[in-house]
Amino acid sequence: MWHSWFDGHTPEDLVTAFVTALADPSPLQRGMYDRTAHHSVVQTPSPLTPEQVAEAHTNRLDTVRAQTRAACRRQRPKPATAPTTTGAAHPAARR
């Protein structure tokens, strides 16, 4: 068994991605006769070859990496441009 928790500093998109993956109805690839599921679960051999499983896993990782890069690019602050001044600069007033 495993445990997971998020605190108030966890980015919302990370929590959303975690919950989405956790609720994904697609079957998990597990070793035959692994004791990781409920005793009433019926296991059948996968129709996929080991190469197909590895390729699907690689594709899934590539997709996650691309999504992560895209999210990082969206969150990156845009470079500030220097304001143009037409008159003399005035120092900020002090209170």
pTM: 0.38
DSSP reduced 3-state for 45: coil
Report pLDDT for 32. Answer: 66
DSSP state of 33: T
67-72: Cβ within 8 A, 24+ apart: 71/13
Give the pLDDT confidence score for residue 71 in this predicted structure: 85
- Rounded CA-CA distance 94/25 in Å is 61
Q: What is the mean pLDDT of each run of 10 residues along the chain (95 residues)?
A: 81 90 78 66 78 91 90 75 61 61
